[in-house]
Structure 1
């Protein structure tokens, strides 16, 4: 694990940068210092940038959110979200029945958000027990407690209603606080006896999809993220190089403690950087 001060130290080693947004570029409310300028400099250096994100929203919605935060779309070669990849898997039949277009679906998440499965491709239902399958897309915590989710999901779990989690993140940053995310609710459903399919980091399909979308000849790719488990451990089986950004969750840790944490997650990165910087 090599510590670097800025991306300029390694930019010439890679032709494609696969970058997580939450915890690396912004906190959902505002961009982190130097991230907007840093992306522009990577692009000016002639490198492709793809935002690779565990977001239940589609790429267009993520692009709009980034634009609202001040990020220029001209720097990006694309956005690959776990929501979009999951939707494509369902429509193509990869996951098999009952995950199919036209099915009755209950989308679990923040009611103020519009997720990839919140579309005319499905019959959206409000009650989990009325669905052919559930979609864990986001979290409405703290407005809804984990106990309330447990109570609402107990009945469909007993009825063996299958589910797909389109954002495997266990925690997310909301208004400066770390709160349980969709992945935590999906795990709760499994604890209740429900079956869940996962699409998104650290699972390999999203990495393969992102690399294919770049339309590049075989070369060196770098995955940048803030999670040893989702970003680093997920990328390693694909043979991708990894860089961990020490986000708010890990910024206080000295190198020896960070290394132990990464090792426990099987996610020791090739590089580590204190914060996103060129």
Structure 2
């Protein structure tokens, strides 16, 4: 049964490294959460390593620049691993062909322009119009503020008929940007899969992003899985992914599912929490209302 704690400090001596989610844990898409910034900074100051593990569909470089603009101090983390990093490896390896159609906003163009060092000098991926594509790279809706997955049903039917595989660079279904909930690439990929299309996923909860995070962590220090703590608010991504990898989890109830655990987001109702987790057959080691 999950243990409700008051702060990361209660359990931090059990862990040498943290894999921390971003949206809903460290920030809300607009500004960072001061208590979360302090908690991670303190963990690092005591000798722990913090890897930010995010389903952002952009390479880590661009995620870092976004955090800078948002005002997240560099002292919060040692490194960033994104689903964009893991998905890039698959794209440059030719998982969906050489000619791809990009479904996503222009802010994700760096996915194609920032070539990983491991792929420098290799055959480039060519972005083409839909009618010329051998595969689809999905980083989200074109207009993530106003569009919903159903807006793409007709295009997906044409893609499925042609047998185009889709690479989903962000398995998240929704995120909260400030007070507005928006759809992510995962929602589009789920619809395409439901319609019979072939979809490849590379972020949480799927193994490639955890393998990459471990490799990046090893560049800093050797840490056994038993000494890594994953932190996240996504039950089907952060929690399911970490538990599938044998990594302990701190579930943040005050994120995506905040309304499920009572009126006080800082203090989840134990009975509501137990029932909600039981219905989803998930049992994270720890729970806290907000990362602090």
TM-score, scaled to structure 1: 0.90
1:176/1:66 Cα in 2 relative to 1: closer, same or farther (>3 Å)?
same
Counterparts of 1:59-98 in structure 2 under 5 Å?
A: 59-91=60-92, 93=93, 97-98=94-95
1:154-212 CA distances to partner (integer Å, 9 max, x unpaired)? 21111111111110011111341222211010011112221001111111221122112
Matches within 5 A, 1:216-255: 216-219=221-224, 220-252=227-259, 253=261, 254-255=269-270
Check the 8 A contact 2:17/2:49 in 1, yes or no. Answer: yes
What CA distance in whole angstroms lies between the structure 2 residues aligned with 1:169 and 1:115? 19
Maintained 8 Å contact 2:5/2:287: yes
Q: CA 1:118/1:162 → structure 2, altered by over 3 Å: closer, same or farther?
A: farther
- Choose between structure 1 and 2: higher helix proportion: 2
In 2, Cα distance between the equivalents of 1:223 and 1:179?
24
Residue 247 of structure 1 and its aligned partner are, at CA, apart by: 2.5
C-alpha distance after superposition, 1:45-85 (max 9, x if no partner)? 11000000011011000001111111122432210001111
Please point out which of 100, 107, 110 is paired with 2:105: 110
Q: Is 1:261 equivalent to 2:276 in the alignment?
A: yes
In the TM superposition, what whole-angstrom CA distance separates every residue of 1:18-49 from its partner, at most 9, and x where no partner exists? Answer: 00000101111111231222221111011000
**More off after superposition, 217-226 vs 34-43:** 34-43
Higher mean C-alpha displacement, 160-169 vs 35-44: 35-44
Change (3 A) 1:142 1:71: closer
Residues 112, 59 of structure 1: alpha-carbon distance in 2 compared, 3 angstrom cutoff? closer
In the alignment, which of 197, 212, 217 is matched to residue 214 of structure 1?
217
What are the superposed Cα offsets for residues 74-115 of structure 1, whole Å, 9 maximum, x if unpaired? 432210001111112333x3xxx5535xx1111212234434
> TM-score by structure 2 length?
0.86
Question: Quick check: 1:56–1:115 contact (8 Å CA) kept in 2?
Answer: no
CA distance in 1, matches of 2:149, 2:222: 45
- Unaligned 5+ runs, structure 2: 116-123, 262-268
Runs of 5+ consecutive residues of structure 1 not aligned to the other structure? none
